[in-house]
Amino acid sequence: MEISGGTRVVGLFGDPVAHSLSPRMQNAAIKASAIDAAYVPFHVTRANLAGAVDGIRRLDLLGANLTIPHKQAALALVDELDQEARLIGSINTIVNRNHRLCGCNTDMQGLLAALRNELKVDLTGLRVLLLGAGGAARAAAAAAAREGADWVGIANRSFDKAVSLADDMAVFQQGTRFAPLILDGDLAGRLPVQVDLLINATSVGLQGELHAFRLRDCLHRQGSVFDMVYGLEPTPLVREARAAGLDAADGLSMLAAQGEAGFQLWFERPAPPGVMRRALQGAFA
């Protein structure tokens, strides 16, 4: 990568930040597009977040990505929010538009693209079992509501958070029914129907572990499984789903698709197809 007098910078703010694969995939796409820019990780602590966000204006960065633990705290530091960020209640992308900072959330778009590309699934009219009630689950629940899913069971280890997420989704008023559930070994027995799609938005699987319930009992025969976890190829959940004859995909495609959405926001052109995904696969090879 050549740095010139006109090189523009996009930052990644996080604590920790060194483990992130985003610099690898974003710089691969920048290079493939022959753009004079660089995507640079910055170790930003909670105490320094406000100063770092203001630094986007002062240093005229193109923008930034936000990762742990800044996605919610940064909401209050930008000048405006896009619709997805307001719905999800967190931002993962900041775009600098003439020193006005727009906070965006590309997770919803990333998930929808991954479901479409990897599983040929469109959420409209589907019955969905969503595992988790954290930030990623919130993006998935909002996507399901916006796309008009029929029913969404939100299963979480801490039941109160499942209740709270289901309540928050009432703002959509588009007919999607949300049901909070406890995530434990008896989950399948509590479902009113066998679902079309299961989405794992918990961190279960990151260390090679499996959920305690029987996956096969939750879905009908043509059902699909999307695991937001990525890294282990295939993840334990994807392996279990495929062994049960179900179509399944892991979170790598979502990571690439949310990155492509950020690239489009900063550079106002589409990311070169497949480049981010290949960069991620290369990182795990």
Residues with catalytic annotation? 71
Site residues for ligand NAP, 140-169, by CB under 6 A, read 156-158, 161
Q: Provide the Cα torsion 81, 121, 28, 137; round to 10°.
A: 50
Query: Rounded to whole angstroms, what are the CA distances from 283 to 19, 35, 235, 237, 276?
Result: 11, 22, 16, 21, 11
- Asked if 22 is part of the footprint of ligand NAP (rule: CB under 6 A), the reply reads no
Binding ligand NAP (rule: CB under 6 A), the pick from 151, 178, 213, 230 is 230
Instruction: Give the C-alpha separation, 140 to 136, whole Å.
Output: 6
Per-residue mark of binding to ligand NAP, 85-114 (x: CB under 6 A): ----------------------x--x----
Choose between 178 and 230: whose C-beta lies nearer to ligand NAP.
230
243-282 residues near ligand NAP, rule: CB under 6 A:
251, 254-255, 258
SS3 of residue 2 by DSSP: coil
Closest CA to 215 of 233, 195, 192, 231: 195
Nearer to ligand NAP, 133 or 142 (CB): 133
Per CB under 6 A, contacts with ligand NAP among 115-144 are: 132-137
Contact 10, 40 (CB under 8 A): yes
* C-alpha span between 158 and 164 (Å, rounded): 10
Per CB under 6 A, 213 contacts ligand NAP: no
Phi then psi dihedrals of residue 94, to 5 deg? -120, 135
Strands, E, within the chain: which ranges? 8-14, 37-43, 63-66, 80-81, 93-97, 100-104, 127-131, 151-156, 177-182, 195-200, 219-227, 247-249
Q: Out of 30, 52, 228, 238, which residue is the one contacting ligand NAP (CB under 6 A)?
A: 228
CB of 21 to ligand NAP, least distance (A): 10
Residue from 204, 238, 241, 275 in contact with ligand NAP (CB under 6 A): 204
Quick one: 157 or 214, whose CB is closer to ligand NAP? 157
Contacts to ligand NAP by CB under 6 A? 107, 110, 132-137, 156-158, 161, 183, 201-204, 206, 228-230, 251, 254-255, 258
